[in-house]
Structure 1
């Protein structure tokens, strides 16, 4: 099932590696930087897995609404009064921080630019996806463009009225250029996000 909602301005993407290992740590990093950098509305922040000989963990990326916003956030990031000494960042051909971390941040940023991968933590409408919402409302009020139900027949289209039990933890992913949410059948004819909070919704104090 799809929605016509499109995320604007994903071509101005900042990649960051701060040495996080787990997805939960990366989620915390996204929220911490979002607070410190005063990200504008329309920003999409994603996590990315890193599996190299030198680094196994996660990086994050921030797609800003336009180039001007990206320049402003980059200046804030590089001018942080109390920066993480291990944080590396990249924006286009510019880098900041330790060279190894900046290099590791680049593939996630490129992946986000292509919309070929990345697990979205912040995106337009994410704050509305709490409690239980209908599938139709989930698609209409957020940047999520498509849902897939894991284990369902390929041709099956879920009823737009189906309740989705969000558990306040909805993490869609970029797939083939569209922000896609994987769902699974849940009790009572409902659906739930495939990814469950571990162990509880991240960064409740940021909401």
Structure 2
């Protein structure tokens, strides 16, 4: 079950903060898979922004569905403790809030594994410092590493300088870390820490 939610976040940092806030408020486990998704400007003139999605474990699905249904019934009031009142929701057939279309886009991309920048995932906290590609794949939910502009995947012994900031993306149905060459024959995640806060750069 994929939960989509949207507060019109203008930066990735804002969206990541919202993602962690919602996961905590709903009592989801720390390794729940959560993503950010670029939402383009719409025909009605809505500004581009970043929405979020969370994979809800089966064990928590009923309580999360009840919380979202309560939000729908409350017509936008703060019904989930700790979550801002202006969050729009989509979970299955439940929809609430003026930004629900963006929330639905996020949920659909995550469910199909065709789009989304993965912020939270199993093993994320283990990817610190410098690790080998094989260790990165073995310790986390990341399924593939690709090096930009290279036709060949890196070998398991290639070192990855993580800078403690590893944000894979959904690509071809796989959680994929996009990397770039780094000094000393190493590679590094293509997304650097604290990127320029402009969501339009992350379409």
Considering the TM-score relative to the shorter chain, is it more than 0.5?
yes
2-side partners of 1:184 and 1:35: how far apart? 33
2-side partners of 1:40 and 1:72: how far apart? 13
1-side partners of 2:173 and 2:60: how far apart? 22
Instruction: For structure 2, list consecutive stretches of 5 or more residues without a partner in the other structure.
Output: 72-78, 197-203
The CA RMSD measured in Å over matched residues stands at 1.8
Query: Quick check: 1:40–1:69 contact (8 Å CA) kept in 2?
Result: no
2-side partners of 1:150 and 1:83: how far apart? 37
CA positional deviation for 1:159: 2.1
Q: 4+ residue runs of structure 1 moved beyond 3 angstroms?
A: 74-79
CA offsets 1:171-196 (integer angstroms, 9 cap, x no match): 10111111011001111111100000
Aligned length: 184
CA positional deviation for 1:65: 2.6
Q: TM-score, normalised by structure 2?
A: 0.84
2-side partners of 1:75 and 1:196: how far apart? 38
Instruction: For structure 1, list consecutive stretches of 5 or more residues without a partner in the other structure.
Output: 1-11, 201-207
1-side partners of 2:195 and 2:144: how far apart? 26
Query: Quick check: 1:46–1:121 contact (8 Å CA) kept in 2?
Result: yes
Query: Quick check: 2:145–2:154 contact (8 Å CA) kept in 1?
Result: no
2-side partners of 1:35 and 1:190: how far apart? 35
